Structure 1
Amino acid sequence: MGVLAGYKIANLQETKTNTVNVTSYPTEKGLPVTDGVQRQPKTFNISGKILGKTSSDAEKIYNALEKKQNAGTVVSYVGRTSAKNVIITNIQLTYDNTIGNGMAVSIDLQEIRIANSPYVSQKTAVKTSGKKSTSNTKKTNAVYHKVRSGETYGSIAHRYGTTIKALENLNPWPEKKIPVGANMRIK
């Protein structure tokens, strides 16, 4: 018995495939061969039966799985093997007289590798014209320092009693490229 996207499938067989593409070009002696190897998404095949109390119950389960397939919905599968972040790429049904309350099924799944975005949104300071604002803005206890020529994260951290790492986390500039005249956030 396995569960695909919350639906039970009586399993007869599961197949898991893990492949890589390997370069067919010669490599120079001493260079790593791994430069020519690229991992491919894992694929899974589940062969079993979709069963219900009646054949129309089994048909409803099939329709729900087909809807997830057509929408490209990322699902998970748990059985003898388990697969997270997979999509249904193929569903093959077989109706025969030996299964009165369902159908035989073969389902292909493909792993989807979800990348973490390196993008981090930065809040920008809003300049005002000096007039009091009537909006309800929160006041922060942020402390800033105007960078002078020759100053580094180390010298500023020592001056304010903080760490270099804390300053690097609060500010977008690399150590060697702190712009002179910039307002560096301290707290």
Structure 2
Amino acid sequence: MAKLGDVIIHVEKENLQSSVNATEYGVEQGEPFTDHIEKKPDIVSLSVYLIGEDHKTRMEKLKGYQRIGKLVKYVGRSAVDNVVILDISRDYTAEIMNGVAVSVVLRKVRIAKSPWVKAPPKKKPSVKPPTKGGEKKPTQKKTRPSPATYHTVKPGDTYWGLSKRYGSSIQQLRTWNKYPDRSIPINVKLRVK
């Protein structure tokens, strides 16, 4: 006796097949070379009898597993998790009066698990918090940035001299104005604050 999903079956023969694919590249002389081995999924072939008055119901259940691609567990001489039913072949003979002989082919499936997890939905409060109706909310005064200050360049003005006069750093003056230190044009307005 064995079990496929939640269907009880009588297994006559069980064949577990493990195989690999090996790439093959031909060469001019000698053996071809291989640079990659890839494991193929395990295949389980079963020769099964479904015997009893409910054999048709169990057969329909197995066909349902196959149709929807349900992952099931097979437990017989060997146990294999996460298998899908690839093929079901029925054999009606006079030797079996109260059932059917069935060949079943199973394949092991590996399930990819995603590291992504959906966040749980946010819970809404069941009771609304009390409102402060009629109360005047305090307003915050918006602070405006101080207006920029400009200086008209005269002969002899430098970033160093302007930084001492207005209190801004030389680097900040360079960033605001984009003129090289040694060639600041005369009569140009420079931002100094």
Tell me which of 68, 80, 85 is aligned to 2:65. Answer: 68
Question: Cα RMSD (Å) of the superposition?
Answer: 2.5
Q: How far, CA to CA, are the matches of 2:119 and 2:57 in structure 1?
A: 47
- Give the direction of change, closer, same or farther, for the CA distance of 1:65–1:42 in structure 2 (3 Å limit): same
Q: Across the two proteins, how many residue pairs are aligned to each other? A: 118
In the alignment, is residue 38 of structure 1 matched against residue 35 of structure 2? Answer: no
Mind listing any 5+ residue stretches in structure 1 that lack a counterpart?
27-32, 124-132, 136-187
Question: Alpha-carbon deviation of 1:7?
Answer: 1.1
TM-score (norm 2): 0.56
Mind listing any 5+ residue stretches in structure 2 that lack a counterpart?
27-32, 121-127, 131-193
Q: How far, CA to CA, are the matches of 1:72 and 1:16 in structure 2?
A: 20
Kindly indicate which of the two structures has a greater share of residues assigned to helix: 1
Superimposed CA distance per residue, residues 1-29 of structure 1 (whole angstroms, 9 cap, x where no aligned partner): 11011111111100011111111137xxx
Question: Alpha-carbon deviation of 1:118?
Answer: 2.6
Q: How does 1:91-170 map to 2 (within 5 A)?
A: 91-120=88-117, 134=129
- Give the direction of change, closer, same or farther, for the CA distance of 1:104–1:115 in structure 2 (3 Å limit): same
- Give the direction of change, closer, same or farther, for the CA distance of 1:34–1:4 in structure 2 (3 Å limit): farther
TM-score (norm 1): 0.57
SS at match of 1:60: helix
Q: How does 1:44-55 map to 2 (within 5 A)?
A: 44-52=44-52, 54=53
Question: Alpha-carbon deviation of 1:121?
Answer: 5.2
Question: Alpha-carbon deviation of 1:102?
Answer: 0.5
Q: Identity of aligned pairs, percent?
A: 34
* Regions of 4+ moved over 2 Å: 118-123
Superimposed CA distance per residue, residues 148-170 of structure 1 (whole angstroms, 9 cap, x where no aligned partner): xxxxxxxxxxxxxxxxxxxxxxx
Partner of 2:56: 59
Partner of 1:15: 15
Question: Alpha-carbon deviation of 1:62?
Answer: 0.2
